[in-house]
Structure 1
Amino acid sequence: MVTPAPAPGRLQRSSALTGFILAPNPGPMSLEGTNSYVLRAPGNPGAVVVDPGPLDEPHLQALAAAGPVELILITHRHADHTAGSARLHALTGAPVRAAGAVHCHGGGTPLEDGEVLSAAGVEIRVLATPGHTSDSLCFHLPGDGFLGAVLTGDTILGRGTTMLDYPDGTLGSYLASLDRLEALGPATVLPAHGPVLPSLEEIARAYRSHRLERLEQIRAAVDRLGRDASAGDVAAVVYSDVGPSVRRAAETSVAAQLHYLRGVPPQQ
């Protein structure tokens, strides 16, 4: 049985402490759209919004109505997560916080790895998880149900695999981030795109296995094509089955893996 896709504009429950409103921005990279999460403890009138999504007025009005919004958090810099953040601040007065100052608004300050936040009755632990982008963050909710939950942004998706936005995102950093997430155990996975998943540790292991398998395929392609083969040449071999709508993403991920194979240290 195929589970129907969630409807944009309606708050849907995703865990004990979270719900999400699906943004109306479906596409090859965003799947059904961006999951804009609303966090609050039971009985608490406030709310925290994670990833406001695109600059779409009805979507942002729906997020504002889920409040009063106390805080707005960003998992990473891509526009399908950040474009609506300044407008949501204007609607709610809530500060926007992200890893980079350029995406902070309304007096919000950059988030730090290991920082512990408390808003709307929810404890939120900030985890730096670079790889998809250099500024990627995950948000651990240790009190969300018996096993906790983690908002994974685009570091782990609800379906498919994550693009490494090289040169900003690197494979070495990404593998280290997967190790860090696996260590959180069987927490619920709350991705920014696609459905909620069980057991973060299992998903992180599966993601690592997939990456290492792809890495071997790319190594074999380089052996055949020559060490100076371009990312496009290698992608044509390894990702021969992907359509044109995701070809650029495939080439970018290949570039990240070639960078890793060629022994260049990941960006800090």
Structure 2
Amino acid sequence: MSEQSSALARVLLAPNPGPMTLDGTNSYLVSEPGASSVVVVDPGPDDPRHLQALAAAGPVDLILVTHRHHDHTAGSAELARLTGAPVRGLDPAFCIGADPITDGEVINAAGVHIRVVATPGHTADSVCFVLAQDGASGAILTGDTILGRGTTVIAAPDGSLADYLNSLMTLRGMGPLTVLPAHGEPLLDLEAICDGYLAHRHRRLDEVRAALRNLGPDASAAAVTDVVYSDIDPAVRFAAEQSVEAQLAYLSATDRAGG
């Protein structure tokens, strides 16, 4: 059963909980109240019951994906087959029957204006979707760029901390929108959430700098992870190491630039 997350979006939780997906992937059903059709954002895993429930929510005009990861896109092809709807994302490899979306594009479907905001960082193809009706914005679907709890991994091979910090600044400028993440519960006030995320990232960078002073400038990501993420759950240790690798790359580039 779907639950209302905002005036323009309902969420159907996919049955794929885990250390990286929290309670599971939030698949969103976007539509104007009373509309006869929906837009599905992030179909989630290739789970027959979940996909059938999404298809049964009403005629599906369009399927959108926030980024390439399996827990968001694995069900895309089957949902497209069930509904006849095209699939669009920033990466052409994850599009079916339609062109990729573009930064700044406004999609009008199911009575909703859906504005695409490119937010690289978690992955190179990460995007957010601002939902509006009659010109008034009130909510933003953030994929994995902002989570309902915890923090986002800068994912190999194409994640970038520099891009991520820039994306957070872009989102911060959008004001106090309601945040509808792909994992976890909705959050109030996008601007405040971005402030918290930015502060956290800069604290982590300070911790990495301190670790390098003690370990030496050529310390491995694994060694830095032992210091900075000493209490990490072993199940997500790999993600912490990915984040440290991104932090080390960021600091190296900043040093080269004299920042």
TM norm structure 1: 0.93
1:177: which partner in 2?
167
Work out whether 1:142 is the aligned partner of 2:132: yes
Which amino acid counterpart does residue 49 of structure 1 have in structure 2?
V
Ranges in structure 2 where 5+ consecutive residues have no aligned partner: none
Which amino acid counterpart does residue 133 of structure 2 have in structure 1?
G
Aligned sequence identity (%): 62
Contact between 1:125 and 1:140, CA under 8 Å: does it hold in 2? yes
Equivalent pairs, count: 255
Q: Which runs of 4+ in 1 moved over 6 A?
A: none
Task: Map 1:90-129 to 2 at 5 A.
Answer: 90-105=81-96, 107-129=97-119
1:188: which partner in 2?
178
Alignment match of 2:149 (pick from 131, 146, 159) = 159
Contact between 1:15 and 1:144, CA under 8 Å: does it hold in 2? no
Which amino acid counterpart does residue 197 of structure 2 have in structure 1?
Y
Deviation of 1:263 after TM superposition, in Å, equals: 1.0
Task: Map 1:21-60 to 2 at 5 A.
Answer: 21-60=12-51
2:200: which partner in 1?
210
Q: 1:234 to 1:144 in 2, by over 3 A?
A: farther
Contact between 1:16 and 1:144, CA under 8 Å: does it hold in 2? no
Ranges in structure 1 where 5+ consecutive residues have no aligned partner: 1-9
**Residues 60-113 of structure 1: CA distance to partner in whole angstroms, max 9, x if unpaired?**
0000000200000000000000000000000000000001111001x1211100
Deviation of 1:147 after TM superposition, in Å, equals: 5.3
Work out whether 1:73 is the aligned partner of 2:64: yes
Q: CA RMSD in A?
A: 1.3
TM norm structure 2: 0.96
Q: 1:118 to 1:16 in 2, by over 3 A?
A: same
Could you say what secondary structure the match of 1:142 adopts?
strand
Alignment match of 1:223 (pick from 199, 213, 216) = 213
Contact between 1:41 and 1:122, CA under 8 Å: does it hold in 2? yes
Q: Give the Cα–Cα distance (whole angstroms) in 2 for the partners of residues 164 and 85 of structure 1.
A: 23
